[in-house]
Each structure stands twice: as structure tokens, then as C-alpha cells.
Structure 1
Amino acid sequence: MARENTGAEPVWQRWRRPPPTPRQQRNDVLLALVVLAGAAFTVVVVNSMGVLAFGKAPSLGEQLLLGAAVTAPLAVRRRYPLVTLIAVGVLFIVVQARQIGDNFVPSIALFLAIYSTGAWERNRTVARWARVGVIAAMFVWLGVGLVELLLNPAPDFPGASGPLNPVLATVLYGLGFNVMFFLAAYFFGEMAWLSARRQAELKYRAEQLRRSQEENTRGAIVAERLRIARELHDVVAHHVSVMGIQAGAARRVLDSDRELARTALDTVEETARTAITELRGLLGVLRAEPTGTRAEPEEPATSHAASPGLDDLPDLVERTRSASLDAAFAVYGEAYPVSEGVALSVYRVVQEALTNVVKHAAARSVEVRLRYLGTGVEVEITDDGRGPSGPGRRQGSGLGLVGMRERVAVHGGELETGARRSGGYRVRATFPEPTRRQQVSGDDVP
């Protein structure tokens, strides 16, 4: 496997080809047996015809033995490519020195040895110089043969009719054939190694892509879980808190003021219905089809919009009011349309702030102010209860504040929370509206 550099990019120049698999090793043994059988066959046939490569040859047994020796190292050509190259190179020269009848199969063995070193030797520097050394040795051996040819009396070349001298033509043919032979062995071995490296790189990239996709999927799942948890917290916590306060008020005045108790219980009932409606809407969104269509609620007659907005703020504040808590709502500035996402986030921020007032602040009054500014909307919730660290104030889980910050941050807004100098607590959230900001900037241009 490729290593990683500081740029997180694989250093494929340092890649090392993994050892051959057991199946590849078995195939090498099979190839060596096939080449060995071919060597034995050609030696027998050539000797039987009397067409010997060098005009004379040792005994048939010695030829078969040398043919077997030069092809046997191919059985480990991928496992030990360098050893195979050296062994085949030395034995090839021995075979030529002994002038066995066949030179074709030993040449095939030498070609495979050079190719295998280029394709499988893990140390690329050793692979390069070993092949260069063997090829150079072969050309030296070829040069020795050509020198002997030139020093000895020129043999007869019956039928020679070309424009070149027969000896010169023989020298040029030998050089040209060997150059092409060794270059081909070197080139194809190098290309096999590069192909294996590219395949390994593609597998590495594919694995990286798969892991990246898994990370993205896990991230999307976590984000969706957080969104669902935030929605459930906003819907359930607020309504349950309001129902608890109203139920407690009804219990306290049940014997002394039945009308006030009835009013409180009506508020509990209405709040419960609202909570159920919002939960149905949320579940409808979760059951939505990929095309964006939402599953129909089981009771269409009682279903409401899944996403409350700014128009629902008065009802939200009114439901918070109780015998022990006075709630007021006010709007400042000229109202204008805002995006559904901003409207829902404003509603949820107010809902969470009111929930904290009901559960933790022990306040007597709370006021919600909605301001339509030139570049966006601002909502402010203030109460006269205990501060966040005031004596006797119950500590929450902190999820509500985190949820408010996340909602505001999504729209590029700002959230301010903290105790007031005059007592109580304040939550102020600002939501910019890009459309309004562009309109205001356009109006300022003369």
C-alpha cells in the first residue's frame, strides 16, 4: 500500500508491488513446465533434422540437460525475479558457449526473465540496473561472437545476392535483432509494473471514495438526528411545560375558583391538541417521499401546517399565560414577508425561550417583542425572573440554548443571551433577510 505524505497524497513512486499470490506461483510452475517441454521438443526435433544453430552440438543428453537448466528458474520468476534473471542470464551464456542445437527456447527463457524482473522486482533501482547489467553482458557476449566471426575466414554464403557484404549483413542483423529483443523485454516488463501500480492506485482511490461516502452518509444521518431531536425538543418541551404549569394552577384553585380552574384546564386541552398537531406535522415531514411529497396525515380534518411561523406567535404567547405568569406580545415596525425557514426559526426560538421561562425562571411576567428591521427581523424575549445562575433556579440540560444557537447560525444571524441589569433574563435573536438588505442598499443608491 502506498504511504501518505504531508499533502495527504499517496507517494506512488514508493509503491512496492505485493508478492505473488499462491495461484500466480502455481501458474509460474506450470509455465516453466510448458517451456521445459518446448525446449525438449525443439532440441529433439532440431537434432533429428540436423539443422543445428551453430553447425555442431554436444550430445543429445547434454543438450536436454542444459535446456532444462535454463528454463527451470522460471518456476520462481515472480517470487524471486532477480535470482531468476541472474540464473537464466548465466545459463543462457553457458548454453550458447556449448552451442546446443536449439537457441530459440533459451531466448524465450531470457526474455521472460528480463520481463519478470521489470514487472515484479520490488526494488526499482535494483530492477533497473540488474536488467541493464544483464543486457550489457549479453551484448558483450554478442560482441565476442561477432569479433570471432570477423577474425576467422569468412564462411561461404551460398545464394547471397543483396547489395551488402554478407558478413556485414550478418553483423547488422544480429545487432538489430538483439536490440529489438532486449528493448521489448525491458519495455513490456516496465509497462506491466506501471499497470499494476495504476491498478493499485485505482483501488486505493476507490477505497478512499467509499470511505468518504460513508463519512458523508454518517454525517448526514447525525445531522438529521440532531435536527429531529431539536424539533422534538422544541415541540414537546414547550407544550408539556405549559400543560404542567396550567394543570398546577388548576389544582391550586380547584376548590376556591372553579371558573379559573376550568380556564386553566381548557388551556391544557388546547395545548395538548396543538402539541399533537405539530407532532403529526413533524412525522409527516419525516415520512415524506424522496420526491418531496409528504404523506397524508391520518386525520386530514384536524391536521395543520407542519411549520408554524410569525403569525402563530400571538397564540404561542397566549398559551403561555397563566394565573402566575403574565405574558405579552408586541410587534414593532412595518411587517413584511420573510422566508419560511426564518419564520420557523423565529417561532422555535420564542418557543424555547418561553419554555425556559416557564420551567426555570419563576417569573411573574414575560414579554415577547418582534421587530421588523430594515435588514431583517429581530425577536426579543425578556422576563423578570431569576437569572441563569440565580438562587433557586433549576438548571436545564442546555440543549435548548444549543438548539437556539444552531437555528440562528443557520441563517447567519446573531443570538444574545444573558441577565438584565434590572433583573430577569433576556434572549435576543437577529435574523438577516438578504432580500431586504439588497432592497435597502438599492434604495440608498442615488
Structure 2
Amino acid sequence: MADAPGLMISAPSSGSGKTTVTLGLLRAFAEDGLTVQPFKSGPDYIDPAFHRAAAGRQSFNLDSWAMDADLLAAIAARSEGADLIVAEGSMGLYDGVATRGAAGCGSSAETAVRLGWPVVLVIDAGGQAQSAAATALGFMRYEEELPFAGVIVNRVASARHERLIRLGMEHAGLPVLGVLPRRGDLTLPERHLGLVQAVEHADLDEAIAAYATFLRAHTDLPAIRAAADQKVAETAKSGRLPRPPAQRIALAQDAAFSFTYPHILEGWRSAGAEIRLFSPLADEAPDPASEIVWLPGGYPELHAGPLAAASRFREGLRRHAETRPVHGECGGYMVLGQALIDKDGRRHRMAGLLGLVTSYETRKFHLGYRRATLQSPMPGFPAGAHLRGHEFHYSTILDQPDAPLARVSDADGNPVPETGSSRGSVTGSFFHLIAEAEA
């Protein structure tokens, strides 16, 4: 379990400002000389890169649906040496799935209860005054075991608006840890349902520094830090991170391939694996001495032209696949296919190691947890292995002629048609791997 005291920054719903608050707090505490460990509750794979930019320390996902108690403990233990933990929730505080998974339903509240991190609730006060206190009070009392630190009220329009909100919070007995005036410039650009990637934000450090200055001016940082807490570990840190699928792994990494859960890579590295990075966008081939090639997810649809022209990358990938495994997740899976059709209807040639053809011309939204039972082996896992992951993309399959990689269902056990593909030593899936699971 975590040794440092921690906080969970959450909200009643998405869009309330919790990412801005999290980034501002991470940077402000780091500027004060603290070693701050960030975490992200839930399967988001974009926010951890922003956390790292703010805190200077790798952020990790904690997911009570996909991860069992041992893996949660092993990941929480990455906070060793930190003075303070600041975790960011996902969606609303209590939002999760209906059917319990490895350790729960996947809500931020479950993570906060399990690790003993008091919740700082970010309330969007737009369109309400004293009623904001009723909302916060309901969130505090909904789960009796939930540790609760207080509220930060966001998007306050005026001094009168603040006075009315404070009256309501005082009546409800709720600590007010900050009041943030409405500021339209304190936003980061978004794509789909999440932020644009950190690597695409030209002025990211300047933006985060502005958040920290804003939080210093309008929150009680000493009170926020004093509210941090932890649950004393009842057992030893017995969990371990995921094992590497090989000793030498060629990992694609650039603006088109950037989505791999940090705990996966941390597990590979801590077990002694050599991760050899290469950039398909720079037309680099994978290191020929690597035992496997792993193509993560990302946004290949935004770079389809350069990827189609990357002949050295495709040829190096083809040579590797003749004798050794290649695996792609989501965007990486699409690049392993025959073709990718962009939003304007243009067809781009991909690696051709699988028969998959995908299209963004007709968008179809795919989002949710995935359970998978492998029908063919993939790097690191034999046929029959049970995996948990998460799927998030807008592409449509036009052709999928290869053997299915797995039987795949959603969190409630309902079958989904995106089974992944297997052809020889090449495999791919639309879900991003989070953890191996019991049957």
C-alpha cells in the first residue's frame, strides 16, 4: 500500500474542473519542495502524461474493476519516497459499472475508500448558489466509509455568488478548501472525450504553471495538504506488477503511438526487460535484435499519410513478423491491418500483416471495459488466458478476415463483436490491456 498521505480529487461529474485543479495542486506542491506522487483513478490513458508534466514524476492508473487487490497495492507502492499523493478521479465520484470486477465497480470512491485518501470534491457552481452545498452534502453522505476532506468550488461568478455559496457550505458543515473564480482561459484543448495528448500541447508547462499560480491565489494549500491521509496497510506489499512478455521489446513511441498504461511499462522495466523505443512516424524500423514488437494505441488516423509512406518501418515490421511476435493495441492494431480510411474517405495503406480494414469516415463510438479470453496466444499470454482491458475509439471495422484473437465481452458479460485478430505471429486487439485476471 501507499506510504505517503494522499488525496483524491473528484467531482460530481465530468467537466467540473478536476483536471485543472489536480494539475495546479501537483505543480504548486512540487514548487513548494514536496515530492508529489500522482495517480489516476480509472482507465484514462491521457491524463497521466499531464500529471507527469506537472509533478515531474510518473503517474499510474488505479482501477478497481480491472485490477485485483494485489495489483492495486503494487501500483500504490510506486509512491515510495513521496511526501504527498494527489490522485485524480474519473467521471463522477461514484460512477462505475454495474457488475463488479476484480476488486469492485471501478469508481473513484472505491479507490479512495480502499487507500484511505480523503476526497476533495470540485463543485461547478455555475447556475446555483446555496444548492451547491446540498450537492456536496449528498456526495459526502452517500457512502458512509468515504473519507471526505472538503470542497473546492469552481466557476464562481462574483463576490456575492461566493458569499451565498459559503453560507450554504457553512450550514451543511462542509469545509471550503478553495473558491475559484470563473476563468475561460484555464482550459486545455480536448479531442473526443478527453484532452489532446500532452506531447501535442506546445505551451503545456506554461499552462500548468498558470494553474498553480491560480490555485495558490484561491485555495488554502496548507489546509489541503493537512487533510491528506492514508489507510494503514494491513498486509505486506505482496502484489507485483505485470511481467514482461520478453527480455527485449521494441516499443513504438511517438505522436501516433503513445497509449500504454504506465504500470505495464513499469512492470516490464522493473523485471529487467529492455524496452527499445522506435518511431514509425520517423520511418524507423524496430530494433532487429528485439524478441517482440509492441505497437501501442494512439491516434494513427491523424498521421495516416506519413504512416502509409513509412516504407522502412513497414519493411522492418514485416521482417520481424516472419519469425517473431508482433502485437498491436487499438491504433497499433489498425496500423497492422491492410488499410485505414480517414474521416475524409481517403484510403491509406497500412502494414498489411493482418487483413483488418478500418474507417473513420463513418464514426462509431466504442467505449467500455472489456473481458477477454484468448483463443490464440499473444505476447506474454497463452491461449486460454483471461485478460481485462478497456476500449475507446471511433473507428468502424469494414473487413476483419483473420481468426479472432479472443472471445470478448463488456463489463457485464455481454459479447462484443470486436474480437481482435490473429494471423501467424501477428496479433491485435481494440482493447488496451490492463491486467491478467482469474476466470
Q: TM-score range by the shorter chain?
A: under 0.3
| Structure with greater helix percent | 1
TM-score, normalisation: structure 2: 0.19
TM-score, normalisation: structure 1: 0.18
Q: Which has the higher contact order (CA 8 A, sep 6+)?
A: 2
Please tell me whether Structure 1 or Structure 2 has the larger radius of gyration of its CA atoms: 1
